[in-house]
């Protein structure tokens, strides 16, 4: 007869009271079965809606011990006054990572992340700024990627000096994809999203619009969007309006989320390199 090595752990959890935790937006939990992990985006009397990093959503009933928070069973309850005995949960950054309390500025690593423009850099900073400071990684913008081969050569990537590049509209056969092929290296990672402009990485629902409008060929994209939406503002004002509505990673499309996190992981290799 074989001993159940998990039996003691199961009995211990069974004896411990399961705390109640408010299902506040942004709280990241895992269902008890281990099949789904995501951030809370909505909660009502019918259940709680979780959204994972790929933008997939699932609704779960608010059952006792139905979720894991930091690996411990909890019962999610509708937001309100924190129930007595509920553990203080770690604060989360806009990207969903655990906030490192008392973080001091670190000397920046030699590795860098380059993005195409100012708007890209501002969006990355707003959502992933805390993560970047934890890792000591600086984000710079290129103002386009036509000169990327020269920039990479001047940067001189190598061990401990990695370069990650985020490119708009990186699709097969595009100018951007041909340029990316020219800088291939074990120490350079070029990734991209399918959007014409970083504006499109913001979910339309966040801005109260049904979808990003189609812009006819030959019409500057930003100006075409503003005209189609009837926004009486210049592109700079429009971007400030858009960025102001973004507060959490769930406000962005999954095609961007995965790429930025991939770049942060790439430029933050183990110290042994």
Q: What is the mean pLDDT of the chain?
A: 82
- Give the pLDDT confidence of 86-141 residue by residue, as tens digits: 555 556 667 666 665 555 555 457 889 999 889 999 999 999 988 888 888 889 98
pLDDT at 272 over 70: no
CATH of range 16-77; options 2.30.30, 1.10.10, 3.30.300, 1.10.150: 2.30.30
DSSP state of 190: E
State the pLDDT confidence band at 8, using cuts at 50, 70 and 90: very low
pLDDT score at 98 = 60
Question: Which residue from 123, 120, 126, 127 is spatially nearest to 144, judged by alpha carbons?
Answer: 120
pLDDT band at 83 (very low <50, low <70, confident <90, very high): low
**Predicted model pTM:** 0.66
CA distance to 88, 101, 216, per residue, from 226 (Å): 44, 41, 13
pLDDT at 4 (0 to 100): 43
* Residue extents of the structural domains in the chain: 16-77, 112-266
């Amino acid at each position: 007869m074989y001993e159940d090595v998990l039996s003691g752990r199961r009995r211990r959890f069974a004896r411990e009271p399961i705390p109640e935790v408010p299902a506040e937006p942004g709280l990241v939990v895992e269902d008890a079965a281990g099949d789904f992990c995501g951030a809370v985006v909505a909660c009502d009397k019918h259940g709680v809606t979780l959204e994972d990093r790929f933008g997939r959503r699932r609704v779960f009933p608010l059952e006792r011990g139905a979720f894991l928070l930091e690996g411990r069973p909890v019962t999610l309850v509708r937001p309100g006054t924190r129930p007595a005995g509920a553990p203080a949960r770690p604060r989360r950054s806009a990207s969903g990572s655990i906030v490192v309390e008392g973080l001091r500025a670190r000397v920046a690593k030699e590795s860098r992340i380059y993005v195409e423009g100012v708007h890209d850099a501002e969006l990355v900073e707003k959502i992933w700024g805390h993560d970047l400071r934890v890792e000591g990684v600086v984000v710079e913008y290129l103002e386009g990627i036509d000169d990327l081969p020269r920039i990479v050569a001047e940067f001189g990537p190598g061990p401990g000096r990695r370069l990650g590049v985020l490119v708009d509209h990186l699709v097969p056969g595009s100018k951007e994809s041909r340029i990316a092929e020219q800088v291939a290296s074990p120490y350079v990672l070029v990734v991209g999203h399918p959007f014409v402009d970083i504006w499109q990485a913001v979910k339309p629902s966040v801005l109260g619009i049904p979808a990003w409008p189609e812009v006819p060929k030959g019409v500057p994209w930003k100006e075409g969007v503003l005209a189609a939406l009837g926004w009486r503002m210049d592109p700079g004002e429009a971007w400030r309006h858009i960025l102001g509505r973004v507060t959490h990673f769930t406000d962005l499309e999954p095609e961007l989320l995965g790429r930025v996190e991939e770049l942060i992981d790439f430029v933050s290799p183990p110290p042994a390199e």
